[in-house]
């Protein structure tokens, strides 16, 4: 593995493999085109400039590509910057992308194993069939996508990690509160965010797709469940209830739920989604803080600063 970005120093001359996080074209005051990048690997990111870029190279690079690049590191405005001499795309085959991005603490196999155990516990055949089919169609993406572009669980495998965290809570809560139907709750947890697989452009260097922006992951998934249930010939109330749970899981209109929770399982889905997201956000925010100090204000937590106790 080439030198990690976090280890770069002023004056380094390097040949390294990095992932292109962003690619932007610019023009100098003298009219010469150039390219700006953010390079990324598992250790961090760095800004880069490709001056004197050739005409062919100008359109050759896109976010998400893996490249081999040589050049030098310099200090510009108190920040390190990589000045590109040469750069070429390299194949992603045989490469473990987790070397280039932040990833879940759990491996893909662990996530699969743990989540599928909960699936196999579902007793209701309608829910079981629907959940299995939905997951089967999305197997490749489900265990690698992040849960969001930024914010909580924004790493490879983040979505499945988030779902697994919620399944554990669902398990306990279904036991504590008998008015909850366990199968519905488990089913709802697994399906609730699958729409993000269509809404986000990829597991790495994620962006929102045009469909994602215009329709939203909630509506995308609801239509998919309806479609899949028809295709499988599944009928009955539970299909409607699962669609309802997906639609209502943001809990309030302002966050894009067109209906609010109207069954206990939908209410609980919203509550545990919230708990797992908040704990993930807090963990990330508190990690770099010294005990006895406050975090900066955290936008996703109503702009509060949190105290790390001693």
Q: Is 241 a binder of its own copies (CB under 8 A)? A: yes
Q: Is 25 a binder of its own copies (CB under 8 A)? A: no
Cβ closest to its own copies, residue 44 vs residue 256: 256
Sign of the alpha-carbon dihedral angle for 174, 175, 178, 181: positive
Among 60, 65, 263, 300, binds its own copies (CB under 8 A): 263
> Distance between CA 126 and CA 280 in Å, rounded?
32
Q: Is 247 a binder of its own copies (CB under 8 A)? A: yes
Which among 59-67, 112-120, 135-143, 209-217 is the span making contact with its own copies, rule CB under 8 A?
209-217
Q: Is 158 a binder of its own copies (CB under 8 A)? A: no
DSSP per-residue string spanning 224-293: HHHHHHHHHT--SHHHHHHHHHHHHTT-SGGGT-SS---SHHHHHHHHHHHHHHHHHHHHHHHTTSPTT-
Total number of residues that touch its own copies (CB under 8 A): 66
Shortest distance (Å) from residue 175 CB to its own copies: 9
Shortest distance (Å) from residue 155 CB to its own copies: 17
Beta bridge partners of 47: 38, 81
Half-sphere exposure in the Cβ direction for 124 (13 Å, CA): 19
Which among 86-94, 105-113, 132-140, 249-257 is the span making contact with its own copies, rule CB under 8 A?
249-257
Whether residue 111 contacts residue 135, with contact meaning beta carbons closer than 8 Å, is answered with: no
- 217: helix, coil or strand? helix
> Distance between CA 216 and CA 199 in Å, rounded?
7
> Distance between CA 217 and CA 198 in Å, rounded?
7
Q: Is 113 a binder of its own copies (CB under 8 A)? A: no
Restricted to residues 165-194, the positions that interact with its own copies (CB under 8 A) are 165, 168-169, 172-173, 176-177, 179, 181, 184
Restricted to residues 70-99, the positions that interact with its own copies (CB under 8 A) are 75, 78
Helix axes 125-137, 182-191, angle to 10 degrees: 10
Q: What is the token pair recorded at 261?
A: 């929770």
- List interacting residues with its own copies (CB under 8 A): 10, 29-30, 75, 78, 165, 168-169, 172-173, 176-177, 179, 181, 184, 210-211, 213-216, 218-219, 222-223, 226-227, 230, 237, 240-241, 243-244, 247, 253-264, 267-268, 271, 274-275, 278-279, 282-283, 286, 292, 294, 301-302, 304-307, 309-310
């Amino acid at each position: 593995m080439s030198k990690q970005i976090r280890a770069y120093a002023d004056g380094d001359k390097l040949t390294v493999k990095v992932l292109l996080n962003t690619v932007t074209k610019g023009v100098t005051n003298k009219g010469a085109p150039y390219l700006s990048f953010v390079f990324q690997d598992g250790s961090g990111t760095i800004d880069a400039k490709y001056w004197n870029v050739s005409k062919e190279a100008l359109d050759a690079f896109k976010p998400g590509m893996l490249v081999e690049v040589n050049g030098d590191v310099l200090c510009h405005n108190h920040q390190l910057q990589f000045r590109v001499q040469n750069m070429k795309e390299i194949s992603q085959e045989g490469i473990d992308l987790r070397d280039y991005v932040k990833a879940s603490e759990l491996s893909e196999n662990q996530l699969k194993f743990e989540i599928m155990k909960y699936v196999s516990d579902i007793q209701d055949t309608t829910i079981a069939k629907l959940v299995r089919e939905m997951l089967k169609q999305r197997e490749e993406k489900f265990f690698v996508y992040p849960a969001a572009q930024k914010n909580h669980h924004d790493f490879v495998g983040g979505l499945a990690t988030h779902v697994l965290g919620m399944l554990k809570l669902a398990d306990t809560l279904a036991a504590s509160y008998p008015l909850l139907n366990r199968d519905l709750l488990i089913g709802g947890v697994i399906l609730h965010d699958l729409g993000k697989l269509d809404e986000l452009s990829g597991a790495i260097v994620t962006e929102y797709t045009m469909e994602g922006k215009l329709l939203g992951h909630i509506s995308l998934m609801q239509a998919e469940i309806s479609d899949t249930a028809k295709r499988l010939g599944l009928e009955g109330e539970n299909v409607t209830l699962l669609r309802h749970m997906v639609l209502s899981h943001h809990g309030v209109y302002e966050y894009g739920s067109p209906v609010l929770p109207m069954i206990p399982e939908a209410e609980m889905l919203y509550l545990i989604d919230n708990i797992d997201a908040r704990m993930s956000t807090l963990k990330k925010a508190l990690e770099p803080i010294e005990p006895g100090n406050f975090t900066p204000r955290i936008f996703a937590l109503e702009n509060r600063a949190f105290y790390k106790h001693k």
